[in-house]
Amino acid sequence: MSAPAVAVRPAGPRLPHGRGPLSGAVLARLRDAAGPLPTEEEAGRADPYGPDLQLALYVLYELHYRGFAGVRDDHEWDPALLSVRRALEQRFLGALRTDVPAAGAEEAMAALLIEPAGDDGSSSVSHYLQREGRLWQLREYAALRSLYHLKEADPHAWVLPRLSGRAKAGMAAIEFDEFGAGRAEGIHARLFAALMTDLGLDTTYGRYVDPAPAEALATVNMMSLLGLHRSLRGALIGHFATVEVTSSPGSRRLAEAMRRTGAGPAAEHFYDEHVEADAVHEQVVRREVVGGLLADEPELEPDVAFGIGATGLLEDRLATRLLAAWRADRSALRSPLTDT
């Protein structure tokens, strides 16, 4: 009896171009080419925030989402690729644990509620875009954020089976809203695709991986890292709390930026929707998701604080990259957008 044929995706995201020996070896394996995969020692020497490691991790994580055109589906659970992923994750996670200061969850949550007084945009992307950002900069920002927003809420859904009680109910309620509350046209990923159309961007899933700098890849990789590991469920909740608590004021600024630059009605609507929805979500995530989790598992408090701190660290790194480039009147991408 012959073995069943292995499914190969006929369509889907294209594999990106490699950025070094780690990502090059992983991509070669996905193309079924011969050659050794990176060793644990090689992964351990890599820059944990660098483009090579971050692209390799991104590609390996995408096998658990939509895969890639021409890549066999069974690569998702290839033991050799999983071993590489683990080594890369350990390098990335180890750096985050070193670089994120220790804090309590209550202290970390309280800090999220404080809007910078009189922020001049010196360190905030949304303040900058609201006040002086140009349309081409909004297009770059949307292209980078598409790596997450075209699968918005998917990384967070991994945590649902690992929660119970109030935390699970609160998390499921928020995810229900993110996925359109039962209406396909209301799925936030679809709303973001409409925003991209207004901005003249390609809505193909994964289209902007190649132009994305390592700082952008790292923000998305962290979500997958925390979501795919049950042991990191507390950190995932901390990350999720950061997103929801800070989303409403940031979205208000971005909606104003879209209106000021004439980006289009769908571009405005995406952020207007998040101003309203995430103001409600903030209360649910604080009281039910975080509160419920820590009532059930108080030992996870340091993990929740770590998730908040790690999110802030990586978002700050991305903001530094974007603002330095834009203030110098140059593209923040690895290659400028060519879409019209």
pLDDT in tens, 261-272: 999 999 999 999
Asked if 15 and 27 count as a contact pair (C-beta separation under 8 A), the reply is yes
DSSP state of 153: T
H-helix segments, the chain? 21-30, 40-45, 51-62, 79-99, 105-112, 125-131, 135-149, 154-157, 165-178, 188-198, 214-228, 233-261, 265-284, 291-296, 301-327
Mind listing the pLDDT tens digit for each residue in 185-237? 999 999 999 999 999 999 999 999 999 999 999 999 999 999 999 999 999 99
State the architecture of 104-327 in CATH terms: Up-down Bundle (1.20)
Q: Where are the domains of the chain?
A: 21-98, 104-327
Q: Given pLDDT bands bounded at 50, 70 and 90, which one contains residue 3?
A: very low
Whether the predicted pLDDT of 118 surpasses 80: no
Share of the chain above pLDDT 70, in %: 94
Is the confidence at residue 276, as pLDDT, over 80? no
Q: Are 125 and 323 in contact (CB under 8 A)?
A: yes
Predicted confidence at residue 339, as pLDDT, reads 64
- pLDDT reported for residue 220: 98
In order of 8, 90, 92, the CA distances from 44 in angstroms are 32, 8, 9
Q: For residues 105 and 59, is the Cβ–Cβ distance under 8 A?
A: no
Asked if pLDDT for residue 140 goes beyond 80, the answer is yes
- Residue-level pLDDT at 102: 87
- The pLDDT of 11-38, averaged and rounded, is 93
**5: pLDDT confidence band, cut at 50, 70 and 90?**
low
Hey, is 8 helix, strand or coil? Answer: strand
Query: What's the mean pLDDT in 134-139?
Result: 98
* Dist CA 323 CA 127 (whole Å): 11
pLDDT-derived band at 116 (thresholds 50, 70, 90) equals: low
Q: Give 43-87 pLDDT, tens digit per residue.
A: 999 999 999 999 999 999 999 999 999 999 999 999 999 999 999
Q: What pLDDT is stored for residue 6 in this prediction?
A: 62
Q: How many residues does the chain have?
A: 340
Contact 261, 133 (CB under 8 A): yes
Question: Which residue did the predictor score with more confidence, 34 or 176?
Answer: 176
Confidence tier at 8 by pLDDT (50, 70, 90): low
Q: Is the pLDDT of residue 105 over 70?
A: yes
pLDDT band at 117 (very low <50, low <70, confident <90, very high): very low
pTM: 0.94
Mean pLDDT of all residues in the chain?
A: 93
